[in-house]
């Protein structure tokens, strides 16, 4: 994968984002906020197209060498229907600007909260789209490392068939070597990633598949498979990898759904299915499951409303 600055969408500091786009500066123009960046609504001066502009504050990034990682990864990607498209990257002394496809304000967390109810079939539709994105991402020799509800955006609010993967800020190009450092959001990190912190061993794309197991568990129940009073207790439980099917949320969940979760949350990363293999699982290929437990949305609010800042590389 070519991640050099000669990628056609990577303009660096040769041009200013403001030469090509009007970037909203009002509160109403803010589409989202994170620790490193604010995403604002923008408008292409040439076409009039409305876009999203991610404004990354360089002063909040400790390692400036890694600042361009997300931009270069996205710049190297061909457009994919399950990944938020990137139109251009512009650098400046204080900010890095990434111009992206405009999505609705809803991420998957917001969508589930607003809907209150999901069917298992809808959950299957959601998960399938993310597996499709991961097939492409992993084929590009990239590991995402931060798959979670908040990084899954809907192109059209209310339409669960328009989900796209976003936020490659913690992603890693693995074309030269596999990663060893601990990054990600604590609820979603895998045992092999935690072990890597202790012994310096590399981990693989399988960390994304573990995160998919966490995600599927949450989408089906609104609850987490592994919790703790603090990160230390949480990580101890993750390392144990003992899944408890929470009741009553999992009482009506199909055996196929539980089987896929069990495979994805296998402690041994070599035993987890790849994204391509997961797409062939019966939960994805032939799911006609019915209504999930009525407490899904309320559980999700209680469990995850307190967002956790991800650990950075």
User: Per-residue pLDDT tens for 122-155?
Assistant: 999 999 999 999 999 999 999 999 999 999 999 9
The CATH number for 10-101, chosen from 3.10.20.30, 3.40.50.800, 3.30.200.20, 3.40.50.300, is: 3.30.200.20
Indicate the pLDDT class of residue 3, thresholds 50, 70 and 90.
Answer: very low
176 against 82, higher pLDDT: 82
Per-residue pLDDT for 6 more than 50? no
Mean pLDDT of 27-39: 88
Q: Could you tell me the residue ranges of all domains in the chain?
A: 10-101, 108-304
pTM confidence score: 0.88
Distance CA 92, CA 46 (A): 21
Domains 10-101 and 108-304 share a fold: no
Positions annotated as catalytic residues are 146
**What per-residue confidence (pLDDT) applies to 309?**
52
Tell me which CATH code domain 108-304 carries. 1.10.510.10
Per-residue pLDDT for 304 more than 80? no
**What per-residue confidence (pLDDT) applies to 4?**
41
Geometric angle at alpha carbon 226, from 111 and 230, rounded to 5°: 100
Mean pLDDT of 106-112: 91
Per-residue pLDDT for 306 more than 80? no
* H/E stretch holding 11: strand 10-12
3-state secondary structure of 14: coil
Name the residue among 166, 165, 168 with its Cα closest to residue 142: 168
**What per-residue confidence (pLDDT) applies to 253?**
92
41 against 247, higher pLDDT: 41
Mean pLDDT of 180-205: 91
Per-residue pLDDT for 159 more than 60? yes
What are the distances in angstroms from CA 168 to CA 130, 207, 260, 261? 14, 15, 25, 24
Q: Which of 113-117, 193-197, 257-261, 285-289 has the lowest mean pLDDT?
A: 285-289
Using the 8-state DSSP alphabet, how is residue 226 labeled?
A: S
**What per-residue confidence (pLDDT) applies to 70?**
74
Mean pLDDT of 264-276: 97
């Amino acid at each position: 994968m070519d991640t050099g600055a000669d990628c056609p969408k990577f303009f660096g500091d040769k041009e200013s984002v403001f030469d090509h786009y009007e970037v909203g500066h009002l509160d109403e123009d803010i589409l989202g906020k994170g620790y490193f960046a604010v995403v604002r609504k923008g408008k292409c001066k040439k076409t009039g197209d409305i876009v999203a502009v991610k404004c990354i504050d360089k002063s909040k990034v400790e390692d400036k060498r890694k600042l361009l990682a997300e931009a270069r990864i996205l710049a190297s990607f061909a457009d994919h229907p399950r990944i938020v498209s990137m139109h251009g990257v512009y650098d400046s002394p204080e900010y890095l600007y990434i111009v992206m496809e405009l999505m609705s304000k809803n991420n998957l967390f917001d969508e589930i909260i607003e809907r209150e109810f999901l069917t298992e079939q809808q959950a299957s539709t959601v998960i399938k789209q993310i597996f499709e994105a991961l097939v492409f991402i992993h084929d590009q020799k990239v590991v995402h490392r931060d798959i979670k509800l908040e990084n899954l955006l809907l192109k059209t609010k209310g339409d669960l068939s328009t989900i796209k993967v976003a936020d490659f800020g913690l992603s890693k190009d693995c074309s030269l070597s596999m990663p060893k450092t601990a990054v990600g959001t604590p609820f979603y990190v895998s045992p092999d990633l935690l072990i890597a912190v202790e012994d310096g061993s590399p981990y693989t794309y399988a960390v994304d598949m573990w995160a998919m197991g966490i995600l599927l568990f949450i989408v089906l129940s609104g609850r987490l498979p592994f919790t703790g009073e603090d990160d230390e207790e949480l990580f101890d439980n993750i390392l144990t990898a003992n899944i408890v099917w929470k009741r009553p949320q999992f009482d009506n969940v199909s055996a196929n759904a539980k089987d896929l979760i069990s495979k994805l949350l296998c402690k041994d990363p070599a035993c987890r299915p790849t994204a391509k293999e997961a797409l062939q699982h019966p939960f994805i290929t032939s799911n006609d499951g019915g209504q999930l437990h009525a407490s899904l949305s309320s559980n999700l609010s209680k469990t995850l409303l307190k967002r956790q800042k991800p650990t950075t590389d």
